[in-house]
Amino acid sequence: MIRYIVKRAVMMIPVILAVSFVVYFLMDLAPGDIVTSLMPQDATEHEIEMMREEMGLNGPLIERYFRYMKNLLKGDLGVSLSMKRPVMEVFLERFPNTLKLAFWSIIVAMIISVPLGIAAATHHRTWVDGVSMIASMIGVSMPAFWLGILLILLFSLKLGWLPSGGSSSFKSIILPALTLGTAQAGNLTRITRSSMLEVIRQDYLRTARAKGVSERHVIYKHALKNALIPIITILGSTFGNALGGAVVIETVFSWPGVARLTVTAINTRDMTLATGCIIMFTIFLNLTLLLVDIAYAYVDPRIKAQYSK
């Protein structure tokens, strides 16, 4: 198992390097000279060059990129141009809010999708299956920002039950998590249904029923346990989608997370902050997928056996 974890961790390195280079390259293509815009209009060329060297923006792109990655290994992502604070400090301050939103949205998605997927599979080709699949298609097709606005209009403005934005209390996360979770639940419902359909047709379940095991026990004890492998896999990508989809949700609900911070940084042309946030996002997303793969290996002994040789 240790061998499997090490191999997966090593495979992350080229992915992170490739993505970080693309991000750094694209940010470097931003129109205008950031250094010039920060300096007074009467600044001399020498002063501008000194500022560029101080910010680490002098030299060819490749040289600057490797210098940036070297500093990243030390935990240094530079200083935010707009906030005048270290980027790493700002990122770590906001990232827990994004993680909290992603976590609760996954909980909402599982509460909606797993029962719907099981019901659809156990009532295959009945009206229950049809309703479940229609609900999943609505979840996949519905724009998250539109659903968020509807929920704000209903629960905040009309009923006054929940706040429309901010993070002042636990109530503040209910609408963002419900919006993001509903958007993720559609695809997860279809995966759960197809995985359960494949499992419940197996011979060992017919044997369990023949021995007098209750249907509820057969479904939730035997079938669901063996159907978890593709569900765990899709949960990893769902969590990644939740982190990425948080850009829209954090903006709609004024949630103080990294996604909203990144959008603000791009709008204010704070490329140091934007680059740092995106690269750190990529690293954490790869770590999440690594944890999912480890969980996958624990659930499926065939994966573990493949790397134990």
Contacts of 99 (CB under 8 A, 6+ apart): none
CATH 1.10.3720.10 segments of the chain: 94-306
pLDDT at 290 over 60: yes
Structure tokens at 218: 């057969």
Structure tokens at 220: 């939730």
Residue type for 22, please?
Answer: V
Yes or no: say if 189 and 112 are a contact pair by the CB < 8 Å rule: yes
pLDDT at 263 over 80: yes
Structure tokens at 76: 């240094």
pLDDT at 38 over 70: no
Q: What is the pLDDT of residues 112-137, one digit of tens each?
A: 888 888 888 877 888 888 888 888 88
Residue type for 230, please?
Answer: P
Q: What is the pLDDT of residues 195-244, one digit of tens each?
A: 787 777 777 767 776 777 676 767 766 677 677 777 777 777 777 767 76
Burial of 74 (0-12, 13-18, 19+ CB in 10 A): exposed
pLDDT at 307 over 70: no
CATH superfamily of 94-306: MetI-like (1.10.3720.10)
CA 103, CA 95: separation in Å to the nearest integer?
12
pLDDT at 304 over 60: no
- pLDDT score at 159: 84
CA separation, residue 286 to residues 13, 199, 230, 242, 252 (Å): 9, 30, 18, 14, 26
Yes or no: say if 286 and 12 are a contact pair by the CB < 8 Å rule: yes
CA 258, CA 242: separation in Å to the nearest integer?
13
